[in-house]
Amino acid sequence: MDSILVRGGKELQGDIPIAGAKNACLTLMPATLLSEEPLTLTNAPRLSDIRTMTELLGSLGTEVSALQEGKVLAMSSQGPINTHADYDIVRKMRASNLVLGPLLAREGHAEVSLPGGCAIGARPMDIHTDGLTLMGAEIELRDGYLHAKAQGGRLKGAVIDFPFASVGATENIMMAATLAKGTTVINNAAREPEIVDLADCLRAMGAQIEGDGTPSITIQGVDRLHGATHKVVTDRIELGTYMLAPAICGGEVELLGGRIDLLSAFCEKLDAAGISVTETAKGLKVARKNGSIRAVDVTTEPFPGFPTDLQAQMMALLCIADGTSVLEEKIFENRFMHAPELERMGANIDVQGGTATVKGVKKLKGAPVMATDLRASVSLILAGLAAEGETKVARVYHLDRGYEHVVAKFRGVGADIERIKE
């Protein structure tokens, strides 16, 4: 099993290209099931999760070709569609549940296994199935599979009030509603950039959608969607992760393709912590303002708040800040599993339920640590870049799910880092 070896203490200089968004691409790919015509995605990230979704779509009858070294995904769902999404594939990745809405919308029935993914807390399917039920679907859970059938063979529009702003449920219902009969209104909808990106793609395919990026989205169903070509939005989580690299190590790095509007709350916290973020013609330039890092308090919230997917990385920075920081995790439970690993490196962290209190230390020290999930793994690498000595991060297979060429990108700005096979 591979590990990442990091030798800390080097300031970073140069630029890092930011890939297309993993979470956006994983949502856009199932949209191909809504049309018999081709859907082509450009600026696709090259990640293991994308390969898993490719495998899932292939099992459903979609042809997927990875072009231009994987940066372009050409998909066609012209042929007969299999409506059974098998456990052996779906269990590998949470986003696999996003085939449920499109399959129901196109075929009128579907059998989709309950999904898997990172062990960062319960993410139930109830909000998805409750919304689809309001649209006329009959759904029951049998033998680990959701067996869903649209009454009369076609979903119908409905007013759906989400109990909380679920990204996945918003995406599933949006796709299902594009081919439903009548109008669907999603209230308390998620507002993430990935939602807007999906809406842009669906509109390019002929869908009638308004209000994306706001708490209320309206979709007028149409009889059919056509093909389209769509560019995947910049990955704001990869962007935020690499923005933290010069913040924690020192130096100056330009993030190619970066945009402040994708991470406004995160950028505000960096500014408060003493980190300069400047827009350039190519993206964003990041550096410390005066050499020191100030403690800040962070609360994770749905967009446009501070992203839960950047909490672990931000904690790594705050481990060496002047003063005491408090991080509240309000999206997922069990998302402080990286804290004990950071403590192995000398961090001073006290976790009580969904709150972590971090007292900054002068220096972290290299140590053998273990990644527990995707974002935790890269937070340990960031900590290792700032630490004294050598840090070995084990179980880095998580990294391949969300970061392409992570070692090469860090090495490109001067980090002493390598991937080793054991």
- Binding-site residues for UDP-N-acetyl-alpha-D-glucosamine sit at 94, 309, 331
Q: Which residues are annotated as a binding site for phosphoenolpyruvate?
A: 22-23
In terms of Cβ atoms closer than 10 Å to its own Cβ (0-12, 13-18, 19+), residue 185 is: middle
8 Å CB contact between 170 and 217: yes
The half-sphere exposure of 206 on its side-chain side, counting CA atoms within 13 A, is 15
b/e code 121-135 from CB counts within 10 Å (16+ = b): eebebebbbbbbebb
- Closest alpha carbon to 103 in 79, 84, 78, 125: 84
Q: How far apart are alpha carbons 19 and 175 in whole angstroms?
A: 24
How many of the other CB atoms lie within 10 Å of CB of 379? 31
Copy the structure tokens of residue 204.
């390019």
Q: Under 8 Å CB-to-CB from 251, ≥6 apart: which residues?
A: 11, 12, 13, 287, 413, 414
Copy the structure tokens of residue 134.
């309001």
Q: How far apart are alpha carbons 33 and 109 in whole angstroms?
A: 13
8 Å CB contact between 192 and 303: yes
Pairing outcome for strands 275-279 and 283-288: antiparallel
Contacts made by residues 240-243, CB under 8 angstroms, sequence distance 24+: 240/266, 240/307, 240/310, 240/313, 241/310, 241/313, 241/375, 241/378, 241/382, 241/403, 242/16, 242/18, 242/409, 243/270, 243/275, 243/277, 243/284, 243/286
Which strand (E) or helix (H) includes residue 417? strand 416-420
How many of the other CB atoms lie within 10 Å of CB of 186? 26
Catalytic: 118?
yes
Q: Which of 25, 118, 201, 267 is catalytic?
A: 118
Q: Which residues are annotated as a binding site?
A: 22-23, 94, 309, 331
Q: How far apart are alpha carbons 57 and 35 in whole angstroms?
A: 13
Q: Among all residues, which ones are annotated catalytic?
A: 118
